[in-house]
Chains A and B, each alone.
Chain A
């Protein structure tokens, strides 16, 4: 990162303060309360509920790995957390975070909406998990790919919440000049959402592989050696999810330079990825139904 102007330093200071007390998302909050207050809610419901909310998943993992529980080994799997600490303890964690949430679904989520942010996060998680399975990653480690994908854009939240106008400005710049979002953010803020993501991951003491995913998913080649395959797969999942969101066809995927680079690194071709499109879309829809997101969508996408 180059030297920041005094204005940009002020942005960074405010972002750091925000990250220290980052709230959960509202899109899942009602469902969280409903599930946690229902004695009949199953561990499967609870697990899926947390796994579908990037902030919540990160917060729960953060707290479980904190000095509060002082576990002898770090836990990176929500499934394991529920088995180890029990449904009630995890429900309590989830409820406390849900109460922190501040963004009603009827309000735009800064320059994003919480719905569009959530949809993209889940899509990247689903795709990353599918890619991991395709690449023969063992079943136990596949959850890291889902969680990594789910959390990858956490850095966007502080930027959107604290500096809505500036983020709008960055997005406009990106559209006008055909820049990437991270390049446009860098011009405005002096840093981008992946830097903020790394900040969050370190502050929350997430495992090093998640720090890498959040900080390097736009520059996977620069990622440290903790698990480069995970970072590349999430980067590809992120890129592919954006192509799907833009309704790009198979030709676009085949001719997309960045996609080609990432696919070569991950080791699969465009036709294989295109074949998975229906499976991936079905998975994303299943997740949406679970959270009843589709019924509540209010349409503030920017």
Chain B
């Protein structure tokens, strides 16, 4: 299995001379199962445009693309590339798009395809040549065929968001973004007028158990791609509750869960190449990371699992 990064940035595409090394496109990851000629795409950030162009160049004229796209969630930075994914304009393309939606009135099709309306884009969803099926995804275990198995788990983000665990021929590839550690959201200070002992206690237990489930979810992964938008200092100072993780705590948890390789993803738009190089020096040294290989994901690189 090969995993290739087409977009690694979080929040918003970040072009410019300070992001040329790690890349400015938002999240898009391609999984290639060469032996069974299968491809799975995770997320449709602006990196999806590059992947689409690459696929068109790779495919002979007239040959259709048949693939699955899994969306971790529907925040804009994870779907913004969809209207620019060239294969959707090709008549022989078949796409199955999976993703979680909250219990609002809009379907997954309306949320993703809604970008393709004259208000935002010159082509409407109804005018696309490709055949596209939308499938709601929830927490569970799924057989994707060809011996590929998928498990999903809800993460901790302001919008319903799924972690994905793919298993194929004994290899495990896992995504856990956008997320931050579960926390007790309830007032714990007995002096606070809103304090409720039962709520505080249950919140504590629930957060602890969910973090435990999270660690079990990616335990033993050969490759874990995890949200690491902030440094621990940034996170503690003012970013708690924003739905993104601190690099240091992610490295620590991955080590404890026996993860073989950890790719840190969803780089903050303000993070420059120079800073990411410095953070690599500081945090990714094997002397600190133990048995886990750690690196900051870079646009265009691929990992063989």
A binds B: yes
Residues of A within 8 A of B (CB): 42-45, 47-48, 63, 67-72, 77, 79-80, 82-89, 92-93, 96, 129, 139-140, 142-143
Q: Given A47-B199, A48-B196, A79-B203, are A70 and B139 neighbors across the interface (CB < 8 Å)? A: yes
- Does B154 sit within 8 A of A, measured CB to CB? yes
- Tell me if A44 and B186 are in contact (CB < 8 A): yes
Beyond A83-B183, A84-B182, 17 additional pairs, beta carbon < 8 A: A43-B203, A69-B139, A70-B139, A79-B199, A79-B203, A80-B202, A82-B203, A83-B185, A83-B206, A85-B160, A86-B157, A86-B159, A86-B160, A87-B185, A89-B102, A89-B160, A92-B103
> Which of B138, B182, B187, B198 sits near A139, CB closer than 8 Å?
B198
- Does B170 sit within 8 A of A, measured CB to CB? no
- Tell me if B187 and A42 are in contact (CB < 8 A): yes
Identify which of B182, B196, B202 gathers the most chain A CB atoms within 10 Å of its CB: B202
List chain B residues, Cβ under 8 A from A63: 103
List chain A residues, Cβ under 8 A from B198: 79, 129, 139, 142-143
Residues of B within 8 A of A (CB): 102-104, 138-140, 154, 156-160, 182-187, 194, 196-199, 201-203, 205-207, 210
Write 8 A-B pairs (CB below 8 A) sorted by A numbering.
A43-B185, A45-B194, A85-B154, A89-B159, A89-B160, A92-B104, A93-B103, A140-B202
Cα distance A70–B103 in the bound complex, in angstroms: 13
Chain A binding site: helix, strand, loop or mixed by DSSP? helix
List chain A residues, Cβ under 8 A from B210: 83-84
Cα distance A215–B141 in the bound complex, in angstroms: 34
List chain B residues, Cβ under 8 A from A87: 158, 185
Minimum CB distance partner of B104 in chain A: A92
> Which of A48, A69, A83, A92 sits near B203, CB closer than 8 Å?
A83
- Tell me if B207 and A83 are in contact (CB < 8 A): yes
List chain A residues, Cβ under 8 A from B201: 139-140
- Tell me if B186 and A43 are in contact (CB < 8 A): yes
Cα distance A71–B206 in the bound complex, in angstroms: 14
List chain A residues, Cβ under 8 A from B160: 85-86, 89
Cα distance A83–B210 in the bound complex, in angstroms: 8
Minimum CB distance partner of B101 in chain A: A68
List chain A residues, Cβ under 8 A from B205: 140
List chain A residues, Cβ under 8 A from B154: 69, 71, 84-85
Minimum CB distance partner of A42 in chain B: B194
Q: Given A68-B103, A70-B140, A140-B202, are A83 and B196 neighbors across the interface (CB < 8 Å)? A: no
9 closest A-B pairs by CB: A43-B185, A79-B202, A83-B206, A80-B206, A70-B138, A44-B194, A139-B201, A70-B140, A88-B158
> Which of B138, B159, B183, B194 sits near A88, CB closer than 8 Å?
B159
Q: Kindly provide the distance from the CB of A129 to the nearest chain B CB, expressed in whole angstroms.
A: 8
